[in-house]
């Protein structure tokens, strides 16, 4: 999917800390957040991060694979149950991409997939979790927790 921040309507815009604001966009089922200095024209910041956002978007399948491998290591029992119950649907989902002002690496927020049938996994229907991952380069990631 082509991500064009300059032509898409913003969902929201707010101050996150003194001098720094954040804008929110939605593409498909995912949100994109971009921080910018309040003293800087927003269009300048959006144009500057456009390529970064597109690269992060294009790497969605790769970060999801990385997150699944991470969970295999740190949540092995849970992932084993998910694999045993699942079809080809991933138990994880990338909810958002974040472009922070003071971080050169885009980050992702990953959690339990709303498309996965959680009723098949006893006891996990209401237990949400969120995992932060950073994109260091093409198909290169690290977990931020």
The per-residue pLDDT for range 116-132, each reduced to its tens digit, is: 665 555 555 456 678 89
Q: 85: pLDDT confidence band, cut at 50, 70 and 90?
A: low
**Residues 107-116: tens digit of each pLDDT:** 999 988 776 6
Q: Looking at the domain assignment, is residue 55 inside a domain?
A: yes
Burial class (CB in 10 A: 0-12, 13-18, 19+), 28: exposed
Total number of domains constituting the chain:
1
Q: Which residue has the tokens 């290169």?
A: 140
pLDDT at 79 over 90: no
| pLDDT value at 59 more than 60 | yes
Q: Is 7 within a domain? A: no
Q: What letter does residue 3 receive in the DSSP assignment?
A: -
pLDDT of residue 118: 58
Domain that holds residue 46: 12-143
Closest alpha carbon to 92 in 68, 62, 72? 68
Q: Is residue 20 a part of any domain in this protein?
A: yes
- 5 located within any domain: no
Per-residue pLDDT, 92: 87
pLDDT at 8: 92
Asked whether the beta carbons of 38 and 45 are under 8 A apart, the reply is: no
- Residue 145 pLDDT: 73
Tens-place pLDDT, residues 25-50? 999 999 999 999 999 999 999 999 99
Q: Flag whether pLDDT at 74 surpasses 60.
A: yes
Note whether 100 and 35 are within 8 A (CB): yes
CB contact set of 49 (below 8 Å; sequence gap of 6+): 5, 34, 99
C-alpha–C-alpha distance, residues 65 and 72, integer Å? 10
Dihedral over Cα of 115, 85, 59, 35: its sign: positive
95 token code pair: 């909810």
**Helix ranges (DSSP H) in the chain:** 42-58, 60-74, 76-85
Structural domain includes residue 57:
yes
């Amino acid at each position: 999917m082509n991500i064009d921040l300059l032509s898409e309507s913003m969902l929201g815009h707010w101050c996150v800390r003194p001098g720094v604001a954040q804008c929110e966009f939605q593409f498909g089922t995912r949100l994109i957040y971009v921080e910018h200095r309040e003293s800087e024209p927003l269009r300048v910041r959006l144009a500057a991060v456009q390529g970064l956002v597109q690269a992060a978007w294009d790497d969605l399948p790769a970060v999801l694979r990385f997150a699944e491998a991470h969970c295999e290591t740190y949540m092995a029992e849970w992932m084993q149950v998910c694999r045993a119950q699942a079809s080809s649907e991933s138990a994880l989902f990338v909810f958002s991409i974040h472009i922070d002002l003071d971080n050169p690496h885009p980050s992702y927020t990953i959690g339990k997939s709303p498309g996965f049938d959680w009723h098949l996994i006893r006891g996990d229907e209401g237990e949400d979790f969120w995992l932060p991952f950073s994109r260091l380069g093409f198909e290169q990631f690290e977990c931020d927790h």
